[in-house]
Structure formats: structure tokens, C-alpha cells
Structure 1
Amino acid sequence: MLDLAFSTEDLAHTRFAFSPAWEIVASVRVLNQPGAHALHLPWVKRATAALDAAGLDIGLLRDLVPLRHLPGFLAGTPASPLPELTDELADLRDVPARVVRRELDAMTGPRSPALNRFYRDPEAGLERLAAVMERYWDLVLAPDWPRIRALLEADVLHRSRLLAQGGAAELFNDLTPLVRWEGGTLTVAHRHLHAAVPLDGRGLVLVPSAFVWPRVFSKTDPRWQPVLRYPPRGIATLWETGTATAPGALAGVVGRGRAMLLTELAAPASTAELARRTGLSAGAVSQHLGALKAAGLVSGHRAGRHVLYARTRAAEVLVGGVPEVDC
């Protein structure tokens, strides 16, 4: 159990960010233990096939992603809301040799030959590691990054609305059942960590991550701004394609296509994401969203290069008892 003590200044410095480098690290953990991440099995099959076909050796990366303690340098705290992978890998290449050795010394268990080689020559090891991570990204994550990024952006939009509506308590208590906010302290249910950590004005970086499901990960090393990585809202829909159904009663009122869209908008989503989930064409989705927006049932919010659509309060009442798809 980890208790993070917040001050007013900590709340002022709390922010959201994504991290492509972290998604690499977390996805390797999924490949190492696919049975513990059943939700991602469709991706695991595709990724394994792509890696085998390319003959890419990710042994060093696998060795750096054990069951518990991750080296802190492997995925640093994002410095901006959406850093580019090239920038994160440049930071990785600049990690001092003494930091690499200290983090490797902190890892438990026997050290593999690849890690021993890394320990002896950290500078060359970091260059190899960055090159492997870049190639790995191109092969198994870049093709799915638009859909992953859309899910992460939708999560941040949803939680920003919660913060505006109910403050920090509503934001934090909605993150995941593994996190609880009470009396200025955020309690994170870690199985192998028991600590109380004051944030000391540094704030907290909240990082939604597709591949952390079903767990949460935190980093409180004083050398970096503290980070909490959690599964985004709607993670259960990430790998679905064309499986949405329309509730009969609602479809009878607004039509099958629009009923499917309203049901899928339990969490904000882009036109492309809605087309993928429902099996409708992008043009049909745009047309339906235009009609729903004109009727005051959805609203659009720009997030980077995309527009995310969300149900309005009127739509929430209309959808009523339709269950939300969540993690």
C-alpha cells in the first residue's frame, strides 16, 4: 500500500501525460506474461507474429522488465503532455552510466548475460536499448498507436470533466478501484510496496496506459516527478471491432446507427474509433454525429489532431439504463 500525501501546491502541479516509451515497457511486460493480461491477447498474437517475422531480438528489453522492480531510467517521467518517442529515446541515451549501474544493482534475482554486458558498458548498452525500442515500436505498436492514443485522449477528456465538476476527490476516486482519495492522501493498492510518501510540492503526473491493465504502477523516486500509471476508461473496448449493438427501445426512437453511437459514447471517442467499434463507415458515423450534435445529444471537444465526441446530459438521460463498457 502506497500513501501519497498531497498539499495544495501538489494539487496545483498535478497533470496528465502520455508516454510512448512507457507503452513499450508495459507492452513487453504483457508479452512476458500474456496469461495475466487476457484482454490484450489479440494484440499479443499479432505482436508475436510481427517480431518473429522481423527476427528482432528483444532479449535485453525483456530482461529489463521483471515482475516487480523496473529500472527508473527505462521510462522517465514525461516532460510534456504527449512527448515524441524520439525525444524520450534521446533522454534514455543520455542517462549517466552511474545511474544505469545503480538501477541494475537494485534489480533482484540473477543477472542475465545481456544485463551483465549492459552493466559493463552502459553507454553502448543504452544505444542498443534505444535502437531495439525504436524498432519494436515500429513493428508492434505504431500500427495500433492511433487507436491507443484515441483511448488515452478520451480518458483525459473524461477526467478533466470530472475535475471541473467535483474537484480532486471525484477525479481520483474515479481512476480505478485500486486508488482511493481521502483527507488529502491518495492511497494506491500495491501488493509489494508499503510506504507513505509526501509529494513535497512536486505534484503527480497521471499517465493513462493501455498496457498496465489490470494493475497500476507508480514511481516516487525523488529524482523524478512522481508518476501514477493507470488503465484508461473503456480499456475493454480497445481491441474490439464491429461488435457494438443497439438497444432495441433506443433504436426505435433515434434509429439503430445513432443508438449504437450513443451507447458507445459511454466514454468520449473519435469518429474513427466509433467507426471501428460499430462497423459503420466513417462517413456514416460523421453524418449521425452531426444529427446528434444538432439535437443536443453529443458535443465535440478537440484533443490534439482529433475531435472527441461525448454524450451530453440530455443523452445520458435518454440512454438511461444502458450499461457502460469499462475496465
Structure 2
Amino acid sequence: MVLLRLDSHALSRSRFALSPLAETLGAAIALSRPCTDTWLAPWHARHHAAFRARLDADPFARGMVALISSTKYLPDHVSFPPPGGMRTRLHEELAQMARVPDEAVGASLQLAVEASWERHDLGAWLTGHDWAGRTAELFRHIWDTYLAADWPRRRALLERDVTYRAGLLAAYGWPRAVERMNRHSVWVGADAIRFSNRPGHDRVVGPEGMLFVPCTRAGRGTWLCEAPGLPYALVYPARGTGDLQSAGAGPRNQALARLIGTGRTAILRALESPATSSELAAELDLSLGTVGGHLAVLREAELVVGERTGRRVVYRRTEAGEVLATGRTTMAGGGTATR
């Protein structure tokens, strides 16, 4: 069991961040395997064959992706804490990656091999030099070829997760905001987060605080990023990467679409977690005006409500909207009833 122990100032300075590098890492793992996530299925189907062909043509890329896809220890040079908070750009992270010397990369890769559940022969593909630079080139290719066009949709979902957890933080504090970041994360005592059940040494988070980084469900669960001079970063799966493409599938959803329309059905289902109109527009690939019109009708019907948070208006389903969208209602005591 690994604990992150926070000192007395760490909580007040901890914050959220985004990491295009984490998305790229997850995308590489997802594309190297058969797809088991329906949210990723259309994207995976478009790119899987081309990515496999790219790996087959480059032993270094094939070996690197195979290793990071099958180890409990991610190599340090692919798991940096994001340096720019919510505005982190991939080129910043790749610049950090490319500066890591071969000696450090080799030592980290050896630890990854020892923690892998598969056999790996580093000597078969870890040849030449500038291994971090070559990894950065591989990640740049993955981003440009397979991720850049999908980034607005993913970013909207990640920002929604941050909005949701920031609301929990404001209302209840960090223990609730950290709750269910993954199936293992839990607040322990007054000053520690358990983020893994695997053996390992605890870390102490100093007065600079730490970063919490949502990532779409692309290959891995939760991992810890650390680097000299940067705060620890905990990467965790974002909420809401359910089957957004299937909003119109199934008898219940088809009936709901006939009742209130396909656009309003998609919005009602997308509000599984609260979102702004801009986030909904990006996620559903609709114009802001179209989303605004649908939201106005849903508000008049008392199926959604909007609550102002700073300059943002965040929408969520009402109890009636929850019943209509899911058939479930929350009962006193925290249980649910299905209708």
C-alpha cells in the first residue's frame, strides 16, 4: 500500500492540472491493444491498424510501447508532472522528456522490465542513443496523427471532471474531491491519500502541494508522476468516459428521443456529471446556440438546473431529469430505486 503524506501546507496549495503527455501515453497503450472501452471504440477503429503498422516498422517504438503497456512501473521519462497547470501544452512536456540523459532512461527502463508481467529484451530494441529524444518524437507522432483532432472532445471531458471535483472541494474539502479518483484511492486519517494497493514506499508532499490530473480512460488507471523540482502529480481516470456514442441506442433511449428529441436526449444523458454549455457543445459536437436552446427547454421542463460558479454556469440534472434519463431516483439513506 502506497500513501501520499501531505504536510500542513500541502492541501491549501494542491490544485488540478491537465497533461497532454498523459493522454498521449494512454493513447499509445490503448492503440496497441484490442479495444475494450466503448467510449474509445470509434476512435480506436479509425487508428488501430495504422498504429500497429507504425510499430511494426520501428523496433524502438514497438519495444517502448510494449514495455509501458505491460508494467506496474512507468519509466520516469514518460511520466513527468505537467509544468503548466490547466494550460500545459504538449511541447512543454516533450521538451522535458527529451532532456533526460540515456543513463537515466536506461535505469528507469530496467525498473519497468523488473515490474512487468511480460518478458522484455531491452537489448533487442534499446540501441543507438538519445532514447528520450526518440521517445519524444514517437509521442509527437502519436499526438499529431491520432490525438490532435480528438483533443477538443477529450479536453472538454477533462475540464468537466475538474469542475465536478472543484465543486466537491469547495463544499466538502479534499477528502471528498479525492474520493473515487480510482477504485483504490481513499483519504487515510487526517493527512494522507492511499492511491495504490501495490507494495511501495510512501511519499511526503511538501508545502508546494501536489497536482491532480484527470485522464480519459485510455489504457491505464492511476499513476504517480514525479520529477526533481516539480510537485508530485496523481493521474487518475476522469468521470464520464462512458459510452457517449450510444446515447441514442437501446429501447429506453430511443423512446426518450421520440419524446423530447435526440438533441435534448443527448444533453440530458451527457449531464451524468455537471457541465457548462461550452463543455456540452464541445463534447457533443453541437453549436453553442443549439446547446443553449436545448438547455432552455430542459430548464423550463425542470429537468435541469443551472448554478453559477464564478463566471461559469454549470448545469446538472434535477431529480426529475435523473429519473427520465436513467430510470433511477435517489432515496433517503443513499439507496437507489429503479422504475
- 104, 109, 112: which one aligns with 2:109: 104
Matches within 5 A, 1:264-279: 264-269=270-275, 270-273=279-282, 275-276=284-285
Q: Secondary structure at the match of 2:4?
A: strand
Contact 1:93 1:126 in 2 (8 A): yes
Cα offsets for 1:265-305 (capped at 9, x unmatched): 121342424645xxx7765333112444678843377999x
- CA distance, structure 2, for counterparts of residue 41 and residue 16 of structure 1: 28
Name the structure 1 match of 2:142.
136
Name the structure 1 match of 2:243.
237
Contact 2:26 2:219 in 1 (8 A): no
Task: Give the partner amino acid of 1:110.
Answer: D
Q: Does 1:87 align with 2:89?
A: no
- CA distance, structure 1, for counterparts of residue 273 and residue 42 of structure 2: 22
Q: Does 1:162 align with 2:168?
A: yes
Name the structure 1 match of 2:155.
149
Contact 1:18 1:82 in 2 (8 A): yes
Higher mean C-alpha deviation, range 280-289 or range 73-82: 280-289
Over the aligned positions, Cα root-mean-square deviation in angstroms equals 3.7
Cα offsets for 1:211-253 (capped at 9, x unmatched): 356622223566642221111111113554654965979997x
- 216, 219, 225: which one aligns with 1:210: 216
Name the structure 2 match of 1:7.
7
Task: Give the partner amino acid of 2:237.
Answer: P
Residues 208 and 303 of structure 1, relative CA distance in 2, 3 Å threshold: farther
Contact 1:199 1:226 in 2 (8 A): yes
- CA distance, structure 2, for counterparts of residue 145 and residue 153 of structure 1: 12
Give the length in aligned residue pairs: 310
Name the structure 1 match of 2:62.
59
- 185, 195, 202: which one aligns with 2:192: 185
Contact 1:178 1:188 in 2 (8 A): yes
Deviation at 1:263, TM superposition (A): 3.7
Residues 145 and 242 of structure 1, relative CA distance in 2, 3 Å threshold: farther
Residues 264 and 101 of structure 1, relative CA distance in 2, 3 Å threshold: closer
Unaligned stretches of 5+ in structure 2? 114-119, 329-339
Name the structure 1 match of 2:21.
21
Cα offsets for 1:58-78 (capped at 9, x unmatched): 325414514222111113100
Residues 246 and 42 of structure 1, relative CA distance in 2, 3 Å threshold: closer
Contact 1:300 1:309 in 2 (8 A): yes
Name the structure 2 match of 1:316.
318
Q: Secondary structure at the match of 1:134?
A: helix
- CA distance, structure 2, for counterparts of residue 189 and residue 53 of structure 1: 35
Higher mean C-alpha deviation, range 36-45 or range 104-113: 36-45
Q: Does 1:76 align with 2:80?
A: yes
Residues 257 and 73 of structure 1, relative CA distance in 2, 3 Å threshold: closer
- CA distance, structure 1, for counterparts of residue 227 and residue 66 of structure 2: 21
Contact 1:26 1:211 in 2 (8 A): yes
Deviation at 1:35, TM superposition (A): 6.0
- CA distance, structure 2, for counterparts of residue 35 and residue 228 of structure 1: 25
- CA distance, structure 1, for counterparts of residue 292 and residue 137 of structure 2: 40
Higher mean C-alpha deviation, range 4-13 or range 293-302: 293-302
Unaligned stretches of 5+ in structure 1? none
Deviation at 1:160, TM superposition (A): 0.4
Deviation at 1:144, TM superposition (A): 1.1
Task: Give the partner amino acid of 2:80.
Answer: G
For normalisation by structure 2, the TM-score amounts to: 0.76
Q: Secondary structure at the match of 2:213?
A: strand
Residues 31 and 289 of structure 1, relative CA distance in 2, 3 Å threshold: same
